Amino acid sequence: MTTSTEMALPPAIPGIELAKHILHRLFRDFDGCLRIRLWDGSEVHLGHNHPAFSLSFRSSKAFQELILARDPLRLAESYFQGRIDIDGDLYSALKLRHHLASLKLSLMEKAELAAKAFRIKLEKTASTSSDTPKWEKTFGQKMGLEPSKDLNRHAISFHYDVSNDFYTLWLDEQMVYSCAYYEDASQSLEQAQRDKLDHICRKLRLKPGERLLDIGCGWGALICWAAEHYGVSAYGITLSQNQYDHAQRTIKQRGLEHKVSVELLDYRDLQGEARFDKLVSVGMFEHVGLKNLPTYFAIANRLLKPGGLFLNHGITSDEGGWKKTVSTEFINRYIFPDGQLETVSTVQKIMEDTGFEVHDVEGLRQHYALTLREWVRRLDARHEEALNYVTEPVYRVWRLYMAACAMQFEEGNTGIYQILASRREPFSSPVPLTRRDLYRQPGIK
């Protein structure tokens, strides 16, 4: 049951009452609580408790388009454009998608709501603010497009070459843009990311003098950590010019030129066989594309020395095949144009089919939820500074994207796994009999 309380205002402009009728029907069975502010300033309260957030429509057009389109992505786009604002708890607002997805309207009800929405459009309404930001699609991908080298390169640039300064605002001091590893939820992001880097190095059982390849090395945090703390010779590749430039500066600043190198290179262009003692890839294979996963793992297998170890750290889906949904279309349209996820079981099968023996699989779903929430908190706290490097629409894309991803991990629809493997060899023993060596010493602080 819903109740409405309206502010004392001048006579309602045409369309306001129609909008309220539509809202009361859409939220008739809503079991939460929210406040909706319409374009004339009036408010509709739905539910009985104090609302955790407010949804504000800046124009009747934004409201009318949303009702007629019945497309959740239209709501997201309106938020990016500033035609809809969310005040208060963003995570509570994102839960609205469950209510909207569960709505069961008869054909008659749909027709009645559409008719009311059309009447709002025909009546005179407040014009959209002239300063409303315009969202321009810089890059897009049709669902199902097969990832190629050109697509991967442009997609990486689209996502990672926003601005190093922008990422610096909310990442940790080492610029690690992947899931942290929390000993407990109260731990700082900086410590959790250091622990993650060390956890990976321990799993790989890195030893002084070994050669390490990092496929998709980002801003270079892991290759520098491995060289400094484990004495390896590390080589990283990336497709992002910004990441490459930052990594080169970091290597020089730390005096690691003799141990660490980075190159702008596609993994498919890596040459040679059995070149590296250890391989690692963190948060990269999501860009590979489902059709290219066998090629990706086959190349990794070719480059790894017998007895060596390969750790693949990546996001997975609870459904296979990367089917077209609201979530997948949102990610491909605004965040990762080439991103595609697969189930962890399928990933393991492909690894085995390309000659790997899987030794260890660790799920970090809860860790990524904590990481994403901390990123959002930091980004929110530095909103004004962020606008020095990106536009308001881009800021809103990142804010909504990371908050939505945090909820996906919390709800269990998305997972993330570290899979440790080696080339399948007779009489091979590349890892100890137990995991005790991973936890024998305290992590490096």
- As a whole-number percent, the residues of the chain with pLDDT over 90 amount to 60
Taking 80 as the threshold, does the pLDDT of residue 443 lie above it?
no
Q: Could you tell me which residues are beta bridge partners of residue 87?
A: 54
**Residue 180 half-sphere exposure toward CB, CA atoms < 13 A:** 28
399, 404, 409, 414: CA torsion to nearest 10: -120
3-state secondary structure of 103: coil
Give the relative orientation of helices 189-203 and 221-230 as an angle to the nearest 10 degrees. 60
Cβ atoms 409, 416 nearer than 8 A:
yes
Highest mean pLDDT among 9-13, 60-64, 258-262, 314-318: 258-262
- The DSSP bridge pattern shows strands 211-215 and 233-238 to be parallel
* pLDDT band for position 75 (cuts 50, 70, 90): confident
Rounded to 5°, the CA angle 177-182-186 comes to: 110
Q: Which long-range contacts (CB under 8 A, 24 or more apart) does 263-269 make?
A: 263/235, 263/236, 263/237, 263/238, 264/237, 264/238, 264/239, 265/237, 265/238, 265/239, 266/149, 266/152, 266/153, 266/237, 266/239, 267/215, 267/216, 267/237, 267/296, 267/299, 268/149, 268/295, 268/299
Q: Place 11 in a pLDDT band, splitting at 50, 70 and 90.
A: low
* Structural element, H or E, at residue 299: helix 293-303
pLDDT-derived band at 369, boundaries 50, 70, 90: very high
Q: What is the pLDDT of residue 216?
A: 96
Tokens of 40: 């004339």
CA distances from 225 to 99, 139, 258, 391, 407 (A): 45, 34, 14, 33, 30
pLDDT at 367: 98
Q: Which residues neighbour 317 within 8 Å (Cβ) at sequence distance 6 or greater?
A: 341, 342, 343, 413, 414, 415
pTM above 0.85, yes or no: yes
- Mean pLDDT for the stretch of residues 77-103: 87
Backbone angles phi, psi at 342, to 5 degrees: -135, 165
Distance CA 364, CA 149 (A): 29
Amino acid 138: pLDDT: 40
Highest mean pLDDT among 47-56, 110-119, 131-140, 299-308: 299-308
More confidently predicted of 429 and 140: 429
Beta strands in 141-243, from DSSP E residues, in sequence order: 211-215, 233-238
- CA dist., res. 1 & res. 4, Å (int): 10
Query: What pLDDT does 441 receive?
Result: 63
What is the set of active-site residues? 405
- Mean pLDDT is lowest, of 58-72, 324-338, 390-404, 424-438, for 324-338
Whether the per-residue pLDDT at 128 is higher than 60: the answer is no
Tell me the pLDDT band of 73, cut-offs 50, 70 and 90: confident
pLDDT the model gives residue 67:
83
pLDDT exceeds cutoff 70 at 145? no
**Mean pLDDT value across residues 28-32:** 83
Q: Which pLDDT score is estimated for 334?
A: 75
Record the tokens describing residue 161, joined without a space: 């070459």
Q: How sure is the predictor about 333, in pLDDT bands with cuts at 50, 70 and 90?
A: confident
Judge whether 338 and 147 are in contact, CB under 8 Å: yes
Q: How many CB atoms lie within 10 A of CB 298?
A: 16
Mention every residue, 6+ apart, whose C-beta is less than 8 A from residue 410. 366, 369
| The predicted structure's pLDDT at residue 162 | 73
Does the CA dihedral 146-289-340-378 come out positive or negative?
Answer: negative
* Count of residues in the chain: 445
Look at 312 and 60; give whichever has higher pLDDT: 312
Indicate the burial class of 440 (C-beta count within 10 angstroms; 0-12, 13-18, 19 or more): exposed
